[in-house]
Structure 1
Amino acid sequence: MSKTLFYRKYLLNRVSVGKDVIDYLENLLARDEESLNHSFHKVMVHNWLEDDVQLYNTINEYYNVLFVPVEYASKQNISSFYTSSLSFVTKIVKMDFMFPYRRNMFNIDILFNDKSSSDCFESRITIEEIVSSVVSNRFNNKMELDLSNFCNDPEFAKRKINFYKIDLLANFKILMLRMGRDVKMLNLSNNQLNQVPLEILNFFTRGDMIGLNLSNNNIPSIQEQFRVGSKVEHLWLEGNPLCEELEVNDYIKKILIKFPRLLELDGVRINQHGIIYPFFKHFVISSQKKTKMVVEKFVTMYFNHYDSKPRSKINMFYDMNAVLTISTDFSDYEDLAMPHYEKCVRNIMHPIKRARTENNKCIFKSRNSITKLFEQFPESTHDVNTFNVDVLKHDSGQMLLVIDGIYKEQNTVLEGIYKESYTGDAENKKNISENYLQFRRTFIFNIHTANGISLYHITNEMFTISLADRERKDNSFKFPIRKMNDLSLINPDKAEIKPISKAFKHLTMLKKSEVERRLKAYNWNINLALKKFIEDVRNDIISTEHIEEENSFSDVSSDFD
C-alpha cells in the first residue's frame, strides 16, 4: 500500500504523528501540486463554546494563517470544518496541536485527506476557482468590481463555504493582481469591516482605481496610511462610525488629506470652491435645532447634487408622485438664449407664453419626469453665500421651505456661436457664455416615520427664475468657501499666513517682504507663486536685494513670529 493511500482518512493528533508524517507533509508542500487543492482535511476542535467566526478568528490569530473553511458543524462538544490548506494543517502539526483556548492541551484532531473536492462541491472544482468565479461575476462592463456584502454571496452559501471575512481575498494573490489591473471602481460596502482593508486595497491602488465605496461598515477612523499616489476621485464613507463622531468640517478635512485628488465624497461633488455649506441669512420662524439640522442637510446635499453631472441622484429627494412647475420672466431674446426653459415653463400671468404651451400645461408629475427634466438643463453652479432660506412651516407631518439666491449656468447658445469665431480673452469668453440667474424655489415636504426615522420627500415644488440684475451679479461668487484640497488660502488670517510664508521662504530664499508680496499677488496660492518664481529665476530678473543672505538664513523659525 502506498503512502498516499495509507494517509487517506488518517487521524492526525499528538499521539499518531511522528517524524515520518511530518516529512511526508513537508514533501507535499514542496511539490506544490494543483491536485493538492482538491484534498480536504477535517479539522476538529474539542470543547469550543463560542461561535464559528470566533473560532476562525482565534485560529487565524494564533497560527497566523488565512484559510477558507468549508462545511462547519458543531456536535457533541466537537466543532469541525474542512480546509484544503495544507500549510495550515502542517502548522497545527508542527506546533504539536497546541491551541490557546485550552492552554498546553492537544484539543485539535485532524482527519487528513478525508474528502475530495467532488465530495464537498459535487464537482471537481477548487475553492480558488469558486472564489474567482464569484469575483469575476461581480465585475461589470463599467469597470466596477462590486464586492458589497461579499461574504454572503449565494454561491458560497450553496456550497457551504464559510467566507467569514472579506480579508480572505488577500490570499488569492493572482486573482487580486489581475482584478487590480482592470478595476476603476471598487465597492466594499456592507462587509462589516472594522478597519480599512489595506491588504486588499494594495492590489487596486497600484492600478487605475479612481472610485472606492467603503460605506455602511464599522470603520472608526481612517488613520491607516494610504499610498501617497492615490488616484481615488470618488469616495463613499457614509454609514461608518467615523462619520458620526467627527464634526462635519473635521470629517471633510481629514478625508481630503488622505485623498488629495478627491472630486466627490459620499455622492456629493467637491466643486471648485470645496464642499458647499449653506450660509442662511434669516429664518421666518424660530430656527429650532431640529429644523436647522434638517434644512442645512437638505440644502447642502440637494444643491451639490443639482450642480453635479449627471443629476440622476436628485430623484432621491422627491416623492414618487411629486409635482413641479416652473415659471420665468425672460424677454423673447432671453428665451432664445435659454431654450431649455422656454418649452417647460408654465407662465399663468404671461398670456403670450401661456399660448405657446396651451397644449402642454408644463406640470411635471412624477419623480422620474422631474429628474429627466433637470438632467436636460445645462451645467450649473449655485452661490450659497447669496441664499435666503425661509422655513414657513415645520411640524411632524409637513415642512414648507422657500429658498432664493443666485446661480449661473452655461449659455449653450452663445457658447456655440463663440466657440469657432471668438478670439478674445478666455476669461471674457467664459463670462459671456454664462448666464447669471436669480431663483426662488418653494419646496413642500411630506414627512413620515419608518423605524423611528423621519423621512422627508418633496411632494410639490414651484421653481421661479429670472435674470440676475447687475448688482446681484456683481456681488455673487465673490466669497468662495475655502478650498480645503488645494494649496491656497482665501482671506487668510495671521495664523494661516505664517506657515505658508515660511514654506515659500524656505523654497525660494527670498526676504520676508518679497515672500508676502509674491503670495499676495497670487491670492496665497503657493503653486502659482512658485511657478512665477521659477520663471523669474530662469529669466534672471530677480533683484539681489530681494534675496536673503546665506548666513542670515540659518534660522527662519523666528522670521514670522
Structure 2
Amino acid sequence: TPYSIRCDRRMKWHSEDEICITTWRNRKPPGRKMRQNTQDGYTRNWFKVTIPYGIKYDKSWLMNSIQSHCSAPFTPVDFHYIRNRACFFVQDATTASVLKDVSYKICDDENRKICIFVNHSTAPYSVKNKLKPGQMEMLKLTMNKRYNVSQQALDLQNLRFDPDLMGRDIDIILNRRNCMAATLKIIERNFPELLSLNLCNNKLYQLDGLSDIIEKAPKVKTLNLSKNKLESAWELGKVKGLKLEELWLEGNPLCSTFSDQSAYVSAIRDCFPKLLRLDGRELSAPMIVDIDSSEIMKPCKENFTGSETLKHLVLQFLQQYYSIYDSGDRQGLLGAYHDEACFSLAIPFDAEDSAPNSLRKYFEDSRNMKTLKDPHLKGELLRHTKRDIVDSLSALPKTQHDLSSILVDMWCQTEWMLCFSVNGVFKEVEGQSQGSVLAFTRTFIATPGGSSSLCIVNDELFVRDASPQETQSAFSIPVSTLSSSSEPSLSQEQQEMVQAFSAQSGMKLEWSQKCLQDNEWNYTRAGQVFTMLQTEGKIPAEAFKQIS
C-alpha cells in the first residue's frame, strides 16, 4: 500500500518468460559504505577541483589567481588538463569549501568569469600509486649515476629501460603522473641547481606531469624532449614558465605539423621567447630588454621629454630591436610584442603614381593605398597577434637602419603605458632596390612586459621616399667632433676601446670615439659600420691620421 513500510528489495522482470525475480538485500550499497567509512583516508579527505574551459589558461596564472582569491593557502595535487578542462586535487574539506567560494570571482583577460567546481573524489592517481620507499631510493641512486656535476646536467633518456631499475623490477614510465612526480621530487631535493635535463626517448605523449618542473627546477635552461610522442606544440605550453635557452624536439610528430621551418621556430619561440638554440640550430638573438617596469612607467618629473633613465631604456630597446630587425632573421622579435598586439603599414598615396618603384614592395600591405571600394580590406590588412606581426615583418625587404639618423619623440607617458615615435632612414640590402634609401616613421605603444621587459601592443610603420638631403647624409659620420666639455668623461674601458679602434681603423681619436658612441659602444657593430662607410667612400679624408 502507499503508506506501508518500504521493503529493501529489488525486482527484475524478464520480458520473454514474464518471470518476476525478487532480490532481497540486507546491506548498504558498496559506494555508500565507502563514503561513510571514516577510516578510509584515501576517499574521505580528497576533493577534485575542475575548471571548465581551463585549457585556455596557463597553469601558473590560473593557480596564482585562485590562490590570491583564497582565504587559506592550498597545495594542488596532480594538476592536469583533460579535454577542455583543467583539474587538480586537494586533501582538505576546509580547503574545498574555500575553493568553492572562489567560483566566478576571477576574471580572465577578456573579462569572463571563471567557474570552479569542487566534488568529493577518490585519491588522485599519483597518491594511490605512490612509489614505495625502496623504489624511491633506487630511483634516486639511478638518477645520481646519471647526473653530471660539472655541467649540472641530468640524463634521463630511455629511463624505463635502465638496467639498475629493470634488475629490481621497478617500472618507471614518465607518462604516469606518479613516476614523473617522484622524479621531480628527487630533482628538487637532490639537484636544486639543475641546468640541463634530458628526457629523450621516453615515449612522452603529454607533459601534464612535467608542468611542476617550473617550481621544482626553475633554473633549467636546456631541455631535451627529442624522440618522444608529442603531437602538438600546445603541450609545450605546460612548461612555458621555464626560461629555456636550448630545446630539442626533433623526432616528435609535432615537428611535421608545420608548413616550414620559419613557422616551426615561430610557434616554439612563442612559448620560449629567450630560446637561442632549437634542435641544435642557432637562432637569432631574442628581443628581450631587461628593464625595470617601475622605472620605465614612473610618471616623469623632469619635463615632457622624459627622464634620463627613461631615455636610456627606450634607446636601449630600439638599439636591440633594430639590431634583430636588420639581422636577416626577424623571428627574434617575437619577444618584443604582446600576444594580441596590432601592426599596420602605410606608404604615401599619389594619384598620379599609384606605386612608386622604390615603394612597390610595400604596396600590397599598405592600408593607405586602398580605396573604399573594398571597405573590409583595411581591417584585413591589420596584423593581429605577435606571430602574424613577425611573419609580416619577415616578408618585408631586408634592411639596414642608420641608427645615427634616428630621432625619438616620447609624446605620451602614464603609469602603465608609453607612447613614442621613431623617425629615421634605412636602406634595402638586397634585390633590385638594393642600396636605395627610404625614410620611415614608426609609432610604438608599449606596456611593461611580464618578465621585466618593454612589450609592444601597437606598432604603426609609415615608409616614404627619403628626401635628397636625407639620402645624402644617410650612413655618414658627421664632420663635427665632440667637445670634452659637452660630454661626460670616458671610463677607462671606453678610453681603451677608442685607442684600439683608432689603431685598427686609422681614424683620429675623436672620430673613433664618435663612431663608437653612435653605435652604443658596441665595438663589433662600430667596426662593421666603419667598413661599410669606408667602402662607400663616405668618410672624409680629414677623419684619418696623417701619415708622413
Shorter-chain TM-score tier: 0.3 to 0.5
**TM-score scaled by structure 2?**
0.36
The one of the two structures with greater contact order (alpha-carbon pairs below 8 A, sep at least 6) is: 1
